[in-house]
Amino acid sequence: MQQPAEENHDLTQNHLGKVQALLDSGTFRQLRGVLNSLRPVEIARLLASSPPPSRNVLWKLVDKDAAGEIIEELPEDLRAHFLRDMDAEALAELTEGLDTDDVVDILQQLPEQVMQEVLEAMTDQDRQRVETVLEYDEDTAGGLMNTDTITVRPRFSLDVVLRYLRRHEELPPSTDSLIVVNRKDDYLGLLPLSTLLTKDPATTVREVMVTKENAIPADMPDREVARLFEQHDWVSAPVVNEQGKLLGRITIDDVVDVIRENADHSLMSMAGLNEDQDTFATVMSTIPRRAVWLGINLLTAILASAVIDLFKDTIDKVAVLAVLMPIIASMGGIAGSQTLTVIIRGMASGHIGPNNMNWLLSRELRVGLANGLLWGLLLAAFAAWWKADLLLGGILGIALIINLIMGAFAGALLPAFLKSIKIDPALAGGVTLTTITDVVGYVSFLGLATWFYG
């Protein structure tokens, strides 16, 4: 049975095939009909899956009433591409009807002057809501929240609350609880809809409201917010300022976006790339992003080559060393990457801290030693048999043990060290680790060879 992600992929590719055929035939009227029959999220996927020349044509055919919802579903790079060509009036029209947090996501990609022009074009109520969210960094609870909330007072009966709700045409999306506040908008607790519907209508809100669930501070990092939602299985959660006053709420759809972005960040950072990079970005925009990390990698490779050059006399005497030394560096790199990945994942999920780091370091060193002994002995036996040189086999085995232990040690400590100096471990960990294991591998192997063959 296909997974939903696979079904979405197949559906997007089917739409893409039909759209491309209509583009090639030039039947734009029919193409407009096909395009606007899709849901906004499907159109966004279609745009993101199309090469630049095709997506520009498709965007012009999109129904403007759905443009705001489509823009919000696009990857950040592609969203910025379409927003770049809009004036303030068009942008203000685009944001009408969107949730406050979605409007803020769009505004944060605009130049300051354009953002102010768009804010001035909004109604006073919409502008006040947006400015409340804009006060907070986009990677915090305040930046994630939506100001669209339904609040009730604790003194009212459930019957009064039900009559109040019936005056609304619809509830905000993902509403599983009403938020209880006092006259000063201080957060007091939650009234779950399930409680509202099942308890005696004469009961007051104060008697049945939930007070054990703490509200989320507006300055809490979004990763911590996602962790709380995961731990408590929340659908939504209130957000408060330092004084405990209600500012808004965060819903599960916003948290899913955070989780996806963090996963993309971890994956892309391992290659030194930006998680928001457009898959179909142009050649000129792709080259600089990749060139930077290729340049950094070149410098580390030069460093490793300089280490090898220190032992060129030994390599000249025992030429077989040049054949065997990549094995040491490669095995150390793989062992270190395994440890590095486990540690970065543990840090991201909040499982690793000062209290358990020593145990993990001890475990990784023991694993590195055990694997070093296992594969070191096998490699030593193989090299001794292959080159008929028992000493060479012993040197190779010892060097492998040293580098596997070093790989485990560096892989365990690098993430915490890089984080302490404000460098993303997922971004710089791989390059740094490779440099360490290459240098240590070459020094240990060639140094031992120089000692014994010198």
Classified as helix, coil or strand, 177 is strand
Residue 391 CA to its chain's centroid (Å): 49
Q: Which two tokens stand for residue 405?
A: 């232990």
Fold that domain 151-250 belongs to in CATH: CBS-domain (3.10.580)
Classified as helix, coil or strand, 54 is helix
Q: Where do runs of H (alpha helix) occur along 236-356?
A: 252-269, 283-309, 312-317, 320-348
CATH class, 283-453 region? mainly alpha
Residue 36 identity: N
Q: Which two tokens stand for residue 141?
A: 């609870």
Please list the residues that pair with 192 across neighbouring strands. 177
Residues 103, 130: contact at Cβ < 8 Å? yes
- What lies within 8 Å, CB to CB, of 379 at 6+ separation is 327, 393, 396, 397, 400
Task: Supply the Cα-derived Rg of the chain in whole angstroms.
Answer: 29
pLDDT digits (tens, 9 = 90+) for 274-289: 555 556 666 776 777 6
- Judged on CB neighbours under 10 Å (0-12, 13-18, 19+), 182 is middle
pLDDT of 2 above 60: no
Please list the residues that pair with 179 across neighbouring strands. 151, 190
What DSSP letter does each residue of 127-174 carry, written as one string?
Answer: HHHHHHHHTS-TTBHHHH-B----EE-TTSBHHHHHHHHTTSSSPPTT
pLDDT digits (tens, 9 = 90+) for 87-114: 777 787 777 777 777 888 888 777 788 7
Spatial separation of the C-alpha atoms in residues 190 and 212, rounded to whole Å: 9
Spatial separation of the C-alpha atoms in residues 44 and 40, rounded to whole Å: 6
Residue 99 is classified by DSSP as -
Mean pLDDT of 361-369: 93
pLDDT digits (tens, 9 = 90+) for 298-320: 888 888 889 888 888 888 878 88
- What lies within 8 Å, CB to CB, of 34 at 6+ separation is 15, 18, 19, 22
pLDDT of 397 above 90: yes
Grade residue 24 by pLDDT with cuts at 50, 70 and 90: low
Spatial separation of the C-alpha atoms in residues 404 and 333, rounded to whole Å: 8
Mean pLDDT of 351-368: 87
Grade residue 403 by pLDDT with cuts at 50, 70 and 90: very high
Using alpha carbons, select from 425, 432, 429 the residue that is nearest to residue 262: 425
Per-domain boundaries in the chain: 4-144, 151-250, 283-453
CA angle 214, 219, 224 (to 5 degrees): 65
Spatial separation of the C-alpha atoms in residues 331 and 248, rounded to whole Å: 51
pTM over 0.85: no
Where do we find the tokens 């197949």? Answer: 10
Tell me the C-alpha to C-alpha distance, in Å, between residue 194 and each of 28, 188, 197, 208: 49, 18, 5, 11
Please determine whether the domains at 4-144 and 283-453 fall in the same fold group of CATH: no
Q: Which two tokens stand for residue 331?
A: 């095995």
The CATH superfamily holding the domain 4-144 is MgtE N-terminal domain-like (1.25.60.10)
Spatial separation of the C-alpha atoms in residues 448 and 194, rounded to whole Å: 72
pLDDT digits (tens, 9 = 90+) for 122-175: 777 778 888 888 888 888 999 889 888 899 999 999 999 999 999 888 888 888
CA angle 205, 206, 207 (to 5 degrees): 90
pLDDT digits (tens, 9 = 90+) for 54-78: 777 888 888 888 888 888 888 777 8
Grade residue 10 by pLDDT with cuts at 50, 70 and 90: low
Q: Which two tokens stand for residue 22?
A: 């209509």
pLDDT digits (tens, 9 = 90+) for 225-265: 988 898 888 999 999 999 999 999 999 988 888 877 776 66
Q: How many CA atoms lie within 13 A of 108 on its CB side?
A: 20
Residues 141, 185: contact at Cβ < 8 Å? no
CA angle 160, 166, 169 (to 5 degrees): 150
